[in-house]
Structure 1
Amino acid sequence: MAEYSNFDICVIGAGIAGASVAAELADKARVLLVERESQPGYHTTGRSAALFSTTYGPNVIRALSRASEAFYNDPPEGFDRPLLTPRGALMIARDDQMESLEALQRELAGAAGVERLDGAAARALVPLLRSGHVAAAIFEHFAQDIDVHALHQGYLRQFRTRGGTFGANAGVDAIRRGSGGWTIEAGANAFRATTIVNAAGAWGDVVAETAGIAPVGLVPKRRTAAMIALPEGTNAHHWPMVIDIDEEFYAKPDAGRLLISPADETPSEPCDAQPDEYDVAVAVDRVEAAFDIQVRRIENKWAGLRTFAADKNPVVGWGDAGQSFFWLAGQGGYGIQTAPALAKLAAALILGKTPERAIMDHGIDLDSMSPGRATLRK
């Protein structure tokens, strides 16, 4: 990275959160986007099997997802199309999980494209489900696969086109506040910025403490995934994603194979997460219990970090009284699907503007994402 000096805004972290907000800001300010790794999205964005769903996650996540839908359906110039392809999501329940299914059905009452199925109807959609395993299910017709690579690269391309400056291999070593803003040291380089946007994912609290800003209690959690073969002759191309109603596992068709995960959330230090053999074994055990499948070998396995605040809402807003340190972190497992709306919303707040009504009218509660909210430290 070249030596830089004066920028209006320094965005730390080039995963989907940092790349998207940097792109939204780049034609309105001098923006520097820095990434500690050699390539953007190495830790989380690049390891996501993202599904777009407007019925998944806490209320604020659902609102942000609804507000992102128009972008996904009609992405701007410079983004590969389509960003979404039909998939569907089938949330299955055993006999002993019917209380969870009933609760979810009540919660989703009136949601478009959502219906309850009996076990036979669920197996008609996914024939390899064991007849004795699924008592009932909830099917979301409109859930779709997200082309994560196309989304991320589209934002990075937009950022560069709008005049932004990117620096890889730029892990932040020191951040000092001065009368004119911030001085940031990254390796052998130092630069200044009036505003810092903390989009550092699992390293969010680390970056804050480096800057002398109070951490918000972010917890990175490891999520493990593996790829297995389907039984010979099985065509799963049109299967929906299958999710245990209590999120004990999920399985998703992927290029003629099956991506599986135990949906683990193991607290971790910020790191290059690696798959744990026990978690892989748990995924296999749960998938074999639900599907008529014998897993003979693991074709590939990996892990990524999903970072949560205590209440599982994102952390979005100013972290200091001088409004020079902005949080954009804690998206958990929802960072991809909410990125378009969250980037526009965050960019407006950073620039001191009122967020678009087209976003806010979906019921987004800014207080529920504030870095100062009481539920962060429960």
Structure 2
Amino acid sequence: MGSVTAGDSHSPCFLQVLPNHGLHAAAFFTAFLVSLALSWTVLFFFTRYQCLQGGVLARRGVQRAESKLEPSPFTSAGGVNEDLSLNDQMVDILTSEDPGSMLQALEELEIATLNQADADLEACRTQISKDIIALLLRSLTSGGHLSPQAERRMVLVFRKQFLLLEKEVQEEYDRKMLALTAECDLETKKKTENQYQREMLETEEVEELLKRVSERSAAECRGLLRTLHGLEQEHVRSALALHQEEDFAQAHRQLAIFQRNELHSIFFAQIKSAILKGDLKPEAAKMLLQDYSKLQENVEELMDFFQATKRYHLSKRFGHREYLVQNLQCMETRVQGLLSTAAAQLTQLIQKHERYQPAASHGGATCPPILDIVEQISSSIFWRKR
């Protein structure tokens, strides 16, 4: 790593080696960088292997733990999907081409959200009651008041009767929804026919009155009458939709109360049957019923608190969304006012320009640039609206 030179000195053949320090430094840094890169590569693959091995072990442990647990209805992604669906509906409302119907659509979405929240809480309440029954039976077995065979037998009976109850409630719900839908359709048809007949009578009366006015005024009155009829139809449709949602919510609440009472009746009947069969002593049954009643009271208080809290937050969110929609409507009204003012000013500008053009051609005066006039009018509209 140097240069070799030859020359005459004290010996006949003389070799002189001159070291190259730049080449030495370059080789040293190159070797250092290569070794550093290799070290980082080995460390990366080693860490990656350890992470993969730990992830596999963790997944196996989770799978073993999940295999020991029963599936819970609260671990599904239904709530997330519902939130995403509601957010999509809110986006559709905000991007609607008809700003006037935003508040109505927002109210309908709010009612649907509250009804869905009540349904979810009722499902949680029912599942908690079932879990309470299972835990109480297990505590009786662990305390020696109930044999394991009797516990398994009672659990099977409870499970079978709960499934029958759910099936009965679902059938009753479908029947009620079908009846309410038919009733709402009939009411909608009836009110629509009444609205149509009233509109026909009003149109005939207005046509008789418009025979005495000018054609321009008659056209304006007809347009206003059509707008009024459209608003009345929209109001009738929204009122019917809200009434239908309220009827559906009331039917769901009635079925929820029925299911809750039937669940308690099933529990009491099975405890009574266990006492008659000799599987459970009266003292243990009395203690069990006291614990069950106390736990149910706590559950009722807790679920009522959850319901009130959720309704509060939903109402607060609805207030924020309503404020946003109202601001959008105000902005839309302001934009429409600006456009109307600009259209009126431009019409006056065109008329002035048409009147000024013949006078300028006869008098020899120069016509002012129309773009300058438009800019002046636009500036005056902007500062007036501010």
TM-score (norm 2): 0.19
Structure with the higher strand share, 1 or 2:
1
The structure with higher relative contact order (CA 8 Å, sep 6+) is 1
Larger Rg, first or second structure (1 or 2) = 2
- In the superposition, the TM-score normalised over structure 1's length comes to 0.19
